[in-house]
Structure 1
Amino acid sequence: MGRELERLLDRRTVTVRRALAENRADGILVKTPKSAAGVRTVAFPASLVEALATHLAVYAEPGRAGLVFTGARGGQLRRNNFRRLWLKALKTAGLGDVHFHDLRHTGNTLAATGGATTRELMQRMGHSSVRAALIYQHLVNGRDHAIAAHVDEQIRKVRPTEPGEASGT
């Protein structure tokens, strides 16, 4: 594991600097997020460190500019391929009608129930307006790791960590 990856996992943060966007006319484009607020650093729960380290080592492209999610042969993951993989993962997990974006909603709901303020939710989601954040709750600054710890507690209640378990993504 590289030094940069080790630092990321020790800090338990992920920084969003760019995103892939797919459209019919241009195909897949690497671009900055829609707004300046979309470029952000967010803390994640300690219970995810091992699974994330495994995922990055096995499935992601190496290096700072490497893609976190890739297709079966290591290339850019296209919408159609992702959907097929997502549905297979849901079936394996015994889950029904769950959309990928529901994961974002769940994370933000857990953050809000952990006491995240509107400002904190906006920062975590990468939004510059309060509209989306108000769906989840209102905020206070400087609680990002505390929020991640609360999310961690909720995850552990539902699914205790098992050593050596791969992410399967």
Structure 2
Amino acid sequence: MSDMILGIHSNVSGDEAGFTSGHAWISIRRGGKTTVYGLWPDAHPKTLDNGDKSDIRVGMESRSRPKASRYYKLSDAQSKHFNALMRANVGWTYTNTCSAWASDIVESVIGEDVDSDDYFGFETPRELGKSSEELEKKDPTSILSPKKLTKNPASSTQTSGK
């Protein structure tokens, strides 16, 4: 079994946050070391325009404090799938935002929908945070007690247990 733990995070949650507020990202804990990944547009003031290269940025959220998080223990197959997804050339767009991307990664690797769909079909960090908090109320997780899944990536159904 892999020693990787996947986390999904948002620094805002719910309608008290503005529609365009906040940021969402993912993390991987491997061998006691955590690496964070976020999707950032080239035009954002915190990034350098990297042209046609991937908008997946590594390490930018290292000091960020999430308001909502959820954690998953990965199998070997899920770890390989995650690593392949991180090598993809992904672009930020208004329909592929940080929250859409983070939610899609978790759904692809784990099979759980951490919903980020907000008004007008846009996906937002506030909705991802709200969804994470709702899932956590039903089935709490932490970095020390991640959710364990029995299905591999891209599975149409899942069974889980902690």
Shorter-chain TM-score bucket reads 0.3 to 0.5
Larger relative helix fraction: 1
Larger relative strand fraction: 2
TM-score (norm 1): 0.34
TM-score (norm 2): 0.35
